[in-house]
Structure 1
Amino acid sequence: MHKPLSSTASRLRAVLAAAALVFGTAALAGAPPSALVPPLPFVPMPAEVVRSDAGLRLAPGAVIAVPAGDRAARRVADTLATMALRDRGLRLLVRSGTRGDIVLRRDAASRTTDGAYQLDVAPGGVTLQAGSDAGLFYAGVSLWQLLTADGGQGAVTLPGLHIADRPRFGWRGLMLDVVRHFAPVDEVKALIDQMALHKLNVLHLHLSDDQGWRLEIKRYPELTRIGAWRTPPGGEPARYGGFYTQAQLRELVAYAAARHITLVPELDMPGHAQAVVAAYPKVGVDIGDGPGRNPRPAVSVDWGVNPYLYNADEATLRFVENVMDEVMAVFPSTFVHVGGDEAIKDQWKASPTVQARMRALGVTSEEALQSWFIGRIGRYLEKHGRRLIGWDEILEGGLPAGASVMSWRGTEGAVAAANQGHDVVLAPAGSLYLDNLQSARGDEPEGRLAQLPIEKVYTFDPMPAGLDAERARHVLGLEAALWTEYMPSRRQREHAIFPRIAALAEVAWSPASARDWSGFLPRLALQRARYLRQGVNAADSAFAVQFDVDGGEAAMLAAGQAPVRLSNQVGHGEIRYTLDGSEPTPMAPSLVARPGEPVVVALPARLRATAFDAAGQALAAVRERRFDVPALLARSSNELRACPNGEMGLRVPLRPDATDWAPVFNVNLMDACWIYPQARLDGVRAVSVDAGRLARNYGLAHDAVKVIQHPASTPEGELEVRQDDCAGPLLARLPLPPGTALETLTLTAALPPVAGTHDLCLRFTAPISGPLYAIDTARLLLTVPSTR
């Protein structure tokens, strides 16, 4: 008998909640893991699910039946068979006809919603039916998720189910910035594959910016000959970058279309234009020196906001239109993204030629000139059957008719645009920018220190408040964005995308009523296990164990022991630990950390821990913390605080284009100053700091005047150590060695005897016209190291 999920959901949640009391979703007291109701393995969660008592066993040789002559259904069946063999070792046979263990059917009733489908699993077989090709494809994805739920091989027993599913939003997107760091074609294809398995359908490629131009334009070959390459700070490598040929992009477009994904190209304008101006200076601005005085900059190596703009003359507009002709010939997408963000207008204000152009156009402000510029391109695209979309700055100066808005500075831009009758896509930085770190952990790789944990992605509501039903129809959907300034390798990019893409998918696809954070967590654990089996470098930040010392390290040093609390970000899983450095396992001899109860750790100890699910599978890699005097007297970059009135905004690598993960440094671009909190100085005789000399490659625009220069005693500057705060007594001054090479340094100095526990201010006085200095680790020493 079928049981509606709505009638059983409360009982299922009660079972899982009861389990959570012991397991953090662990096993019920006295009950084996098999006593738990297994979570449905779907991400995203279908709109409607009905469970039944009787399921189906699929054995090797099971037949997938497809309607004769239905090529799209055949492609779905072939894809399903390929994935079942690859991921489960289960051989399925594809046959034309209406009888089989798995049957694909067309359903005219579901044609009204693109992507809608039904999936039934019963003792008599599996049925997938949909009206659209996309719906049939998504039905196949859901069946694949059932087949791979347990990670097993060979025959599989499927639960009895009836699913009626449809997407909530038509735009379910992900943006990949391939400008700051180039992603090869194979990597983009792998991302498309994963997007399809999450039922996402828009890949937005950010193809031009100050740091590079990434697509071949045959009429303007200098765009890739010059604009696609840069020399990183430090000169290594001498040539860094890359671009896609039009043939490669057509291949990607077709590859994505076969998986029901649209590629949307973005060329940023009128700002973020330094790479194009480097290639063709005449499209840039004659900065204050009259006509014909167009400087040729290098392709930028600076992250952030750079000053270069397109000018607004007819020749430049024709240049852009010619580029768009080739872009439209490669990308068949309805939408073309034109950026429009962060275009500081200093060059326009300084240019007599641009000012004369404004007067000729009757434009009274630079913001209005940007609106005119965007409107001109929008009309050109519209004439060719396309639609313009841009970041929400295109609202400033008046939104061109027919333009759509991608709202990244919160949701206000989306509300304003929708209320004006424009279509919108939600992509707010605080909820959907994947370059924000996933946790506060010290082992997170590079990125923005603003945190975007997976729960924040999951709880984001793409339908902003303040829109009535009529205006709400302008909300096309949502999109997460991965800006790659600090992610030069595929491994780092995958770490940032996965598993947060799972939360994104559920927000974009599932009805709001179907979303349930506590129910998502066990499915997320299953999904992360899938990623690892597929070789995807998915982050385990949500499940990784965190160690928090009650009273702090200074108190632990004084007492020789302290309570240590073990937890993880999502409160999920049974945490097991050891104190002798051995590997924690789901069985003895490891110990269980009870929720809310600290573990008393006596010095010295090597505490190792991880979390396990109900089946005894590790949810994250083992984390370790040593508790001894040297470790407790050291603070990593992540354990240091920003100085008062400052903020550590970025975690950056030693070299901008490094592909390894260490070392990384938390930095405040405006003030090279850190606080070592609560240092127990009794018996301390010296300080040793592992530091980094980094590139100061940041386009700060109008914020450059806010960078603080601390008074120096030598031409190269020094690292000062002050007691209590940055105005306190000077305890040590550690001279910086001369040079500008990007490298690690160890700075050591004796400290005068000081009793008690104090904060320490650590600040660099190096000239702000040179490299940026940062701290990897600061150590207090009980002896003064020998200088011999």
Structure 2
Amino acid sequence: WLSTVLCEPLVRKDLSASMLAGLAARLLLAILPGILAFKAGDATSHGLRVTSARFQHVKDTESSSSSRKHSFLRKFKGRSAFLRSRSVAIIPQPKTMDLLGGEDLVLTTGAAVRVSTPSLADLAALHGVLGKAGLKVDTRADLPQFLLVREGSDNAEKYTLSVSSADKVVRIGASSSHGLFNGLMTLRQLLRRGAAGTWRLPQVQISDEPVHEWRGLMLDVSRHFFNASDVKHLLDTMALYKLNRFHWHLSDDQGWRMPVAKYPRLTQVGAFREDGHGSDARYGGFYNEDEVKDIVAYAKSLHIEVVPELDSPGHIQAAVAAYPDLGNAPAVVATQFGALEHTMKPSDQSMNFMADVISSTAHLVDSDYFHVGGDEVVTGQWSTSQAAQTFLAEHHKKRLEDIASVMTKSAVAAVNKLGRRAVVWDDAMSRDLPKDTVVMLWRSWLGVGRLAEEAASRGHAVVMCPQDRTYLDQFQSKGGASDAFGAIGGFLDLLKVYEMDFDGHGAAVLGGQGQLWTEYIEDRRNLDYKAWPRGIALAEATWSAARRPGFDDFQRRLALHLEELRTSQVNFREADGKQALPRSQVLEEKSPQATPRPPSNAVRTQEQPVHESWLRSIVEGPMLRQTAVHVRNRELKQKATKATVRKVRAALRPTHRRVVLRGFHRSKG
């Protein structure tokens, strides 16, 4: 125990002043209760049970005739058990966890262990966890044994886990591969470094299962494109914290990312826009069929279900740019963000198009769910459209809002025809959809309770996605004061995510989901910063719900996870707002497939073009909260060419719709 509490930080060579002070405090806390016990003659010894709601001390059944001279050691052991519990940091907090005390199971890096698993897939998952400690698989009977066994349960995600150092056995039981995988993710978190090339597992008994079945993250790859490597990187961290739904927002006004063989122009034209956000480079990208299948298979290996989304009849301008007959001019991919006025032309042709692309995507993405959007449909263009009036007459409707109802119901029918369950944003809830349609409640300013009551009255199950609790593109400090990146605005810190409410007001609540809208998230580094650790708080909120032990306890456990995230190259947000990884550290090649072009009116002092996107790489921090940015005679290194930038002054405020840089004049959303 002393090795674990006092020596581990020394082995890690973490010798900051605060750590040295912490070591002294640990030693004092360890010895003081024993001294007091020796003086008082307290003969009570303690085991420890940790539940998801509180620490619960359980008295041993030791005989009351025990000698008084052992009271010091027993009290010291009790304090040891408590401090040991403080070093066990499982997220999400298990339903029940008994810390048994005694010696840890010690495993030496490079040593061999025996394994027994029900399937090759389970073996592969176990191998991934053992690989963390550098352990090898062997068949000798005298080796530590890792057993994965199937046992009965009515919840496929439920698992039990036990560690016995005396028997040298680690056992995980579940009724399915998903449950076994959940147990393995807990085992991975239990493994901690010991001294001199060893790994330690505390003796525990865990029984665990989630409260909610839908625990997800949504990634918008339209506003900014993220390649297959970026997506897998996000999935890896999701799996560690048992997030099991990846909502893939594949189309919007600013880009279409999903290949559809029948409509090749969707990716040839609809995947690219004429400038990026804050850049004059042609911007875009898309996935090919093999990449889509690979991402889906990778997610499946992590027991994460991919839920694709193709939005309509609003947020459709990229498709209209590719096939102008689907809508109105201008037939270009949008470069502005927000709820734009462009909508799909109300016609049978448009509804057949949506049925085709839904069918094609469902063929590539094997999922029980398919999201058809239905949000933020602006009816302005329909009000002056003869096609809209004809459509209303054909469907015996009168209101412009009825057009959205007919078109959304058509998309839902296309999903149901494929044997899938449709999902919509809550804007579409009033469109008289089938009862088995899942509704994502996001418009928190209308009152999530009121929206949930409406969903209940219509017979819909819901996923909690309130903007004020789950939109992870918002600032994490008030006004972005300590944030390392810009954001769309707002304020959503770790506490607000952790304390989100799951009261369905009569509606069946499937779970909750965090939203990563990417207007202001342009690369993997920023994506990590926005997603983590708020996504970890969301994982515990959705897994444990009312069982959550409290924010202070969560923060304690979270602090013990951050170093592994850093080792895994996850650029999470530190508590002080800094990035976890140095700016100089290259994570991966940047995602966007951008084609740079020089702005015709750029100010430059030599022939090489100077791009505003290059300027952005010089400026530290989010520009939205800078009143002025001065750049003077800086050489742009590690680029294809060198250039000298004249003094530039930029005054930007969040409310400005236009940004003027000297020599640049670009319209911004």
| Distance of aligned partners of 1:240 and 1:7 in 2 relative to their CA distance in 1, 3 Å threshold | closer
AA of the residue aligned to 1:516 = G
Q: Which of these residues, 310, 313, 334, is aligned with residue 300 of structure 1?
A: 334
Shift of residue 516, structure 1, vs aligned partner: 1.5
- Out of 382, 397, 400, the position equivalent to 1:363 is 397
Question: Match for 1:60 among 82, 93, 109?
Answer: 109
For residues 105-144 of structure 1, what are the structure 2 equivalents within 5 Å? 105-110=148-153, 112-123=154-165, 124=167, 125-144=169-188
Please state whether the residue corresponding to 2:561 is helix, strand or coil.
helix
Aligned ranges for residues 637-716 of structure 1 at < 5 Å? Answer: 662=620, 664-666=622-624, 691-692=650-651
Other-structure match for 1:486:
520
TM-score in terms of structure 1 length: 0.64
Aligned to 2:453: 415
Structure 2 residue corresponding to 1:428, chosen from 436, 449, 466? 466
Query: Any conservation in 2 of the 1:50–1:163 contact (CA below 8 Å)?
Result: yes
Q: 1:375: Cα distance to partner?
A: 0.9
Q: Distance in 1 between matches of 2:438 and 2:462?
A: 6
Decide which of 46, 59, 76 is 2:94's aligned counterpart.
46
How far did residue 520 of structure 1 move?
0.8
Change over 3 Å in CA distance of 1:219–1:8 after alignment to 2: closer
- Amino acid corresponding to residue 117 of structure 1 in structure 2: Y
Cα deviation, 1:454-503, whole Å, max 9, x if unaligned, reads 01101112233x22xxx4xx211110001010111211111100111110
Is the Cα contact below 8 Å between 2:273 and 2:333 reproduced in 1? yes
Q: Residue in 2 aligned with 1:442?
A: 481
Shift of 1:442: 2.5
The letter for the 2-side match of 1:272 is H
Conserved in 2, the CA contact under 8 Å of 1:543 and 1:619?
no
C-alpha change, 1:403 and 1:190, in structure 2 (3 Å) is: same
CA 1:514 to 1:35, structure 2 compared with 1: closer, same or farther past 3 Å?
closer
Q: Is the 8 A contact 2:255 2:271 kept in 1?
A: yes
| Residue 499 (structure 2) aligned to one of 459, 462, 467 | 459
SS at 1:448's partner residue? coil
Amino acid at match of 1:425: V
Q: Structure 1 residues 400, 738: CA separation in 2 closer, same or farther (over 3 Å shift)?
A: same
Q: In the alignment, is residue 331 of structure 1 matched against residue 369 of structure 2?
A: no
Say whether residues 1:158 and 2:201 are aligned partners.
yes
CA, structure 1 residues 771+303, in 2 after alignment: closer, same or farther (shift >3 Å)? closer
1:611-630 Cα distance to aligned partner (Å, 9 max, x none): xxxxxxx9999xxxxxxxxx
2:118–2:148 CA contact under 8 A, matched in 1: no
Q: How many aligned residue pairs are there?
A: 547
Q: Would you say the 8 A contact 1:696–1:771 is kept in 2?
A: no
Kindly state the Cα deviation for residue 35 of structure 1 after the two structures are TM-superposed: 6.5
Pairing of 1:4-23 with structure 2 (within 5 A): 4-5=49-50, 9-10=54-55
Q: Compared with structure 1, are the counterparts of its residues 35 and 376 closer, same or farther at alpha carbon in structure 2 (3 Å cutoff)?
A: closer
What's the offset of the Cα at 1:133? Answer: 0.1
1:81 aligns to 2:130 (yes or no): yes
1:94-109 paired onto structure 2 within 5 Å: 94-95=137-138, 100-109=143-152
| C-alpha distance 371-400 of structure 1, shift in aligned 2 (>3 A) | farther
Quote how far apart the aligned CAs of 1:324 are: 1.3
- Select the residue among 262, 284, 287 that pairs with 1:244: 287
State how far apart, in whole Å, the 1-side matches of 2:432 and 2:438 are. 13
Q: From the superposition, tell whether residues 399 and 156 of structure 1 become closer, same or farther in structure 2 (CA, over 3 Å).
A: same
The Cα offsets for residues 68-110 of structure 1, whole Å up to 9 and x where unpaired, read as 662232122222122x1xxxxx322234699852422323223
394-403 or 262-271, larger mean C-alpha shift: 394-403
Q: 2:399 & 2:521 partners in 1: Cα distance?
A: 37
Separation of aligned partners in 2, 1:497 and 1:104: 34
- Work out the CA distance in 1 between the residues paired with 2:465 and 2:286: 26
1:211/1:300 contact within 8 Å kept:
yes
Query: Does the CA contact (< 8 Å) of 1:371 and 1:400 recur in 2?
Result: no
Q: Distance in 2 between matches of 1:147 and 1:36?
A: 13
- When residues 151 and 273 of structure 1 are mapped into structure 2, their CA distance, relative to the original with a 3 A threshold, is farther
- Secondary structure class of the residue paired with 1:53: coil
Matched residue, 2:589: none
Amino acid at match of 1:442: A
Corresponding letter in the other structure for 2:256? W
Give the Cα–Cα distance (whole angstroms) in 2 for the partners of residues 214 and 523 of structure 1: 38
Q: Is the 8 A contact 1:227 1:299 kept in 2?
A: yes
Deviations 1:763-784 (A, max 9, x none): xxxxxxx779xxxxxxxxxxxx
Amino acid at match of 1:121: V
Equivalent residue runs for 1:205-224 within 5 Å: 205-224=248-267
Deviations 1:31-69 (A, max 9, x none): 99x968533221111111111112321223555444466
Which of 410-419 and 380-389 deviates more?
410-419
Are the counterparts in 2 of residues 268 and 340 from structure 1 also a CA contact under 8 Å?
A: yes
Deviations 1:219-263 (A, max 9, x none): 101101110001226995442110001110000000000010011
| Cα RMSD, aligned residues only | 3.5
Query: Aligned with 1:144: secondary structure?
Result: helix
Q: Deviations over 1:637-659 (max 9, x none)?
A: xxxxxxxxxxxxxxxx9869956
Q: Which residue of 1 aligns with 2:121?
A: 72
Indicate the residue corresponding to 1:91 in structure 2. 134
2:593 is matched with none
Structure with the higher fraction of residues in strand conformation? 1
In 1, Cα distance between equivalents of 2:404 and 2:518: 26
1:190 and 2:222 aligned: no
Structure 2 distance, partners of 1:133, 1:493, is 30
Q: Is the 8 A contact 2:249 2:310 kept in 1?
A: yes
2:559 aligned with 1:519, yes or no?
no
Conserved in 2, the CA contact under 8 Å of 1:209 and 1:268? yes
Question: What is the deviation of 1:371?
Answer: 1.4
What displacement does 1:534 show?
1.5
Cα shift at 1:414: 3.2
Distance (whole Å) between structure 1 residues aligned to residue 374 and residue 619 of structure 2? 33
Q: Write the distance in 2 (CA, Å) between the matches of 1:404 and 1:71.
A: 34
Deviation at 1:740, TM superposition (A): 4.0
SS in 2 for 1:436: coil
Q: Would the alpha carbon gap of residues 69 and 202 (structure 1) be closer, same or farther in structure 2, given more than 3 Å must change?
A: closer
| Structure with the higher fraction of residues in helix conformation | 2
The answer on whether the counterparts of 1:266 and 1:339 sit within 8 Å (CA) in structure 2 is yes
Query: Residues 235 and 187 of structure 1: is their aligned pair in 2 closer, same or farther, counting only changes over 3 Å?
Result: closer
Say which SS state the counterpart of residue 290 (structure 2) adopts. helix
Corresponding position of 2:9: none
From the superposition, tell whether residues 99 and 242 of structure 1 become closer, same or farther in structure 2 (CA, over 3 Å).
farther
1:136-162, Cα deviation, whole Å (9 max, x unpaired):
1111111111114x5977312222211
SS in 1 for 2:97: strand
Q: Distance in 2 between matches of 1:8 and 1:384?
A: 43
Distance 2:615 2:546 in 1: 41
- What is the one-letter code of the residue matched to 2:404? Q
Residue 366 of structure 1 and its aligned partner are, at CA, apart by 1.9
Q: What do the CA deviations read for 1:670-696 (whole angstroms, capped 9, x no partner)?
A: xx9xxxxxxxxxxxxxxx995336999
